[in-house]
Amino acid sequence: MANPPTTSRATTYPASKRRRHSDDHHHPLLPGLPDQIALLCLSLVSQAALYSVCRSWRRLVYSASIPPFRSLYTLSIPTAAACDGGGVDHQMLRLFSFDPISSKWITVDPPPLPPFIHRVSLRHPSFISRYLPVQSLSVSGKLVLIAGTSGDLLPALTHPLVFNPVSNAWSAGPPISTPRRWCAVGASRGTVVVASGIGSHYTQTVARSVEKWVLKKTESLHKKRIETDEVWEKMRSLRYSKLCREAIDAVGWRGKLCMVNVKGDCAKEGFVYDVDSDEWAAMAEGMLGGWRGPATAMDEETIYMVDQSRGVLRKYNEDRDDWSDIVTDERLKGAEYIVAGGGKVCVVCEKEVGIVVVDVVGTPPWLWVVETPPGHEILGLHILPRMCLPETESESKL
């Protein structure tokens, strides 16, 4: 296991101060070579190696001058112990980014809430034993908050909130024609799909509706008025209303979205939505029979799933319509959230195990644990590009 991670905050300094600091302390990346040529040479070196050599190369790793490495992001809330006597809001949703090179958790500043966004509530007296779900997804290298519940049990988000880690900025997407919660959400090839769910109250119209949004650009939340030429497109209605019982994560896979109507290791129904043709079909028998826990896809090509009761990470084989075991580990039992990227599958399990990381490229696969952000309980897990930290922005303008 790696050293226990620490937590830091991404701090923004005035642009003029960053430029002055850079001008006063600039050193060539490689003595005797222009920085543009040095960049070409250093781009061939692993970023972990660059980080350990000197400060200028360390700043380069976090600048926009070289492609960003992948980082783990968590949506989480403070634990009860962290809130006791500390004046911490136990319903404050926080976003953290884990830097795999420095083994540090970085706190991402929350978005400024415009008037058309209600505050997301995670607890309500009507649901004593569970959190109200917050539904999010990653698409085109960005994090999208798509659905949640307000304190009066109404849809909290009328617009999706989008976080771009490269620019370290929040923005808003186009308004959802029918804001909803407890719905099925997923993304495939840059297109976000929302299906079924509950609006201000249950209706068959909302429970059978489907909308999609092709993510191209978003507008800054600092603007007083959100203007965008993008819209949510209404798609063909569902023939049934079986996807509004829970918050459902649809898995993007080869231009399709695969989903089941209930979570856990129990009897369920499976559906597959073709994003391009707007067609729904029943899930293949073998895929549905082995779907016994949270699932994800690696680059939309290979589906991985954790069997919650057995603690087994499995991979779906389309040609045989069955699942094959990758690795078995007690720490995978009770898996709640899963994400895949860069040859690794990351799983959040119960009983404060931490985040289990499985390298599925290696033979045999090997496993380690990353500790969660101190004092927080995870409600969502994503893999996105690492943030371009503000103090390194000037380094990218070489």
Which SS3 state, helix, strand or coil, does residue 286 take?
helix
Q: What does the alpha-carbon distance between residue 40 and residue 331 come to, in Å, rounded to a whole number?
A: 42
261 lies in some domain: yes
Q: What does the alpha-carbon distance between residue 31 and residue 98 come to, in Å, rounded to a whole number?
A: 32
- Cβ neighbours for 147, distance < 8 A, ≥ 6 positions apart: 133, 134, 135, 155, 156, 157, 180, 181, 182, 183, 185, 194, 197, 247
β-pair partners for 186: 193
378 lies in some domain: no
For 10-66, how does the pLDDT look when each residue is reduced to its tens digit (9 = 90+)?
A: 544 444 444 444 444 567 889 889 988 988 899 889 888 998 898 888 888 888 888
- Residue 65 confidence (pLDDT): 83
More confident residue, 194 or 392: 194
Q: Into how many domains does the chain fold?
A: 2
- Residue 21 confidence (pLDDT): 46
Question: Closest Cα partner for 268 from 180, 325, 184?
Answer: 184
More confident residue, 127 or 216: 216
Complete DSSP assignment for 166-186: TTTEEEE-PPPSS--BS-EEE
**Band of the pLDDT at 349, cuts 50, 70, 90?**
confident
Arithmetic mean of pLDDT, 76-105: 78
- Of the residues 61, 87, 103, the one at which a domain ends: 61
177 lies in some domain: yes
179 lies in some domain: yes
- Of the residues 283, 313, 348, the one at which a domain ends: 283
β-pair partners for 138: 143
Q: What does the alpha-carbon distance between residue 354 and residue 356 come to, in Å, rounded to a whole number?
A: 6
Arithmetic mean of pLDDT, 231-256: 91
DSSP H or E segment with residue 56: helix 55-61
Domain coverage including residue 248: 111-283
CATH code of the domain covering residue 231: 2.120.10.80
Segment among 131-145, 296-310, 334-348, 381-395 with least mean pLDDT: 381-395
More confident residue, 236 or 88: 236
pLDDT averaged over the chain? 85
β-pair partners for 272: 258, 281
For 144-181, how does the pLDDT look when each residue is reduced to its tens digit (9 = 90+)?
A: 999 998 888 889 899 999 999 988 899 999 999 999 99
CB 376 within 8 A of CB 394: no
- Residue 1 confidence (pLDDT): 43
For 249-295, how does the pLDDT look when each residue is reduced to its tens digit (9 = 90+)?
A: 999 999 999 999 988 778 899 999 999 999 999 999 999 999 999 99
- Residue 354 confidence (pLDDT): 93
Share of the chain above pLDDT 70, in %: 81
First to last CA, the chain: 38
Question: Closest Cα partner for 243 from 277, 202, 212?
Answer: 202
341 lies in some domain: no
Q: Check whether residue 146 and residue 227 sit in a common domain.
A: yes
Q: What does the alpha-carbon distance between residue 344 and residue 101 come to, in Å, rounded to a whole number?
A: 15
Arithmetic mean of pLDDT, 340-353: 90
161 lies in some domain: yes
For 180-211, how does the pLDDT look when each residue is reduced to its tens digit (9 = 90+)?
A: 999 999 999 999 999 999 998 889 999 999 99
The count of other CB atoms within 10 Å of the CB of residue 143 is 22
142 lies in some domain: yes
- Residue 196 confidence (pLDDT): 95
Q: Check whether residue 28 and residue 171 sit in a common domain.
A: no
